[in-house]
Chains A and B, each alone.
Chain A
Amino acid sequence: MPNVHKDFHGALSFGLKFLEEHYGEEGMREFLEGLAESVYAPLVRDLRTRGLAALRDHWQTVFDIEEGDVAIRMDGDVLVLEVRRCPAISHMQDRGYGIAEHFCEHTRIVNEAVCRAAGYDASVEYDQGTGRCVQRFRRARE
């Protein structure tokens, strides 16, 4: 499929490592949080408009395109993503690329920034070594 160039995951990992080495953890965080206002601005707008259905559709599309293994469900008022095989981690492991020590933190930081901008909360528990994680999203409490 055009535009699915999985080596970009490796380039992102290298980029995160570069940011952390040169500008510290705060620099990496600042860069990733800024993406909510640019790259992910359409998702923020969609989340404000359609609520968690917007995130559900976003993640379903991403994991379909990237052929990851994920279960997406609603648990009460919480959207839960159970990632059983992360396409980014598995691609980098398959290719033998070096994976940034804090690679999976980018998921936490970007998710939180996107959700914060739209009035939602996000959390993630991950195991970078196995490429598994559980992500949760809910409307922020007043």
Chain B
Amino acid sequence: MISCTEFIWVYNELFRFIEERGGEEQLIAFWKGIADEFLWNLREYVEKDGLEGMRRYWSHTLGEEGGRHRMTLYDDMFVIDMHECPSAKLIHESGRVRPFERYCEHCLWLYPPILRELGYEVDYDLLSCERGRCRLTVRKPRARGQHTEHGGGPAVEPGPDSGE
């Protein structure tokens, strides 16, 4: 049995294998398949509780995976600032595998499409895969003509499972 504690490295190798065999198209198809098969619970959280559902979903998953991050929930926006992604850190610092250069891209194909399908505006900024730094920003769709000068103060900063 491949242990779930070893799977980050296996993921790295799997992405490379699929890209070498099937090219970018199949790699993206694989990532989309993972989202379709396993992220239905994210969809449920968000359908039920919107931005607060996102905070609850990632509090659970990021809590399990570890790492250092900050979650901020505004009235109209949810932000994850990942300062040190545990997966990317393992890939780049363990020396156990040759880091797949597109490793961090999988998050781009896993999460934003679901949130956009549910009507949110999403930016995913990959700041440094090597250092495990990225930012996910999700905004409620603004009603036509609505002008927002500020989204109100953060309701949650940092998230309860933040490593900080």
Contacts and interface: CB of A to CB of B under 8 A. Distances in A.
Interface of A: 2-12, 14-15, 18-19, 22-23, 27, 31, 34-35, 38-39, 41-42, 62, 65-66, 83, 86-88, 97-98, 106-107, 110
A8 B3 CA distance: 9
B1 A88 contact: yes
A14 B38 contact: yes
Contact of A5 (B4, B18, B22, B26): B4
Nearest to B26: A22
Chain B binding surface SS class: helix
A10 B66 CA distance: 19
B99 to A, nearest CB: 11
Contacts of A106: 1-2
Contacts, number: 100
Given A3-B86, A39-B6, 5 more contacts: A4-B5, A5-B7, A10-B37, A11-B38, A87-B4
A83 B98 CA distance: 32
24 contacts: A2-B64, A3-B5, A5-B4, A5-B65, A6-B4, A7-B4, A9-B4, A9-B7, A10-B38, A11-B11, A11-B38, A14-B38, A18-B18, A18-B30, A22-B21, A27-B21, A35-B2, A35-B13, A38-B96, A65-B3, A66-B5, A88-B1, A88-B4, A107-B2
A96 B164 CA distance: 34
B34 interface: yes
A62 to B, nearest CB: 5
B86 A66 contact: no
Nearest to B36: A14
